[in-house]
A = this chain, B = another copy of it.
Amino acid sequence: MQIVQFGLGGVGRELAHQLMARRDALAARYGVRLDYRALADSRAALIGDRLDPQAVFAAVAAKSEGRSLADLPASRMLTDPGMLLQGKPGILVDVTASDAISSAMAGAVRAGWRVVLANKRPLSAGMGLFQRLTQAGATRYEATVGAGLPIISTLQSLIDGGDRIERIEATVSGTLAFLMSALEDGMPFSRALLEAKALGYTEPDPRDDLSGADVARKALILARTCGWLLTPEDPAPEALYPDALASVDPETFLGRLPELDAPMARRLADAKAAGAALRYVATVSAAGVQVGLQTLPSTHPLAGLRGADNLFSFTTSRYHERPLVIRGPGAGLSVTAAGVLADIVATAREFRD
Q: Interface range on chain A: under 10, 10 to 19, 20 to 34, or 35 or more?
A: 35 or more
**Complex CA distance for A55 and B26, rounded to whole angstroms:** 41
**Complex CA distance for A151 and B340, rounded to whole angstroms:** 19
Could you say which residues of chain B place their CB within 8 Å of the CB of A157?
150, 153, 338, 342, 345-346
**Complex CA distance for A321 and B162, rounded to whole angstroms:** 36
Q: Are B328 and A325 within 8 A (Cβ)?
A: yes
- Scoring A22, A323, A324, A346 by chain B CB atoms within 10 A of each residue's CB, the highest score goes to A324
State the oligomeric state as a number of copies: 2
Q: Are A338 and B29 within 8 A (Cβ)?
A: no
Q: Distance (Å) between the CB of A318 and the closest chain B CB?
A: 5
Chain A 304-344 per-residue mask, 1 if CB under 8 angstroms from chain B, else 0: 10010100000000110111111111001011001101100
Query: When the two chains form the complex, which single residue of B30, B137, B163, B338 contacts A161, counting CB atoms closer than 8 Å?
Result: B338
Q: Are B160 and A342 within 8 A (Cβ)?
A: yes
**Complex CA distance for A25 and B341, rounded to whole angstroms:** 28
Q: Are B329 and A319 within 8 A (Cβ)?
A: yes
Q: Are A335 and B353 within 8 A (Cβ)?
A: no
Task: Please tell me if A136 contacts chain B, counting CB pairs below 8 Å.
Answer: yes
**Complex CA distance for A351 and B351, rounded to whole angstroms:** 8
CB contact list, A25-41 vs B, under 8 A: 25-26, 29-31
Q: Are A319 and B342 within 8 A (Cβ)?
A: no
CB contact list, A82-138 vs B, under 8 A: 136-137
CB contact list, A1-49 vs B, under 8 A: 18, 21-22, 25-26, 29-31
Q: Are B318 and A335 within 8 A (Cβ)?
A: yes
Interface residues of chain A, those whose CB is within 8 Å of chain B, are 18, 21-22, 25-26, 29-31, 136-137, 148-150, 153-154, 157-158, 160-163, 301, 304, 307, 309, 318-319, 321-329, 332, 334-335, 338-339, 341-342, 345-346, 349-353
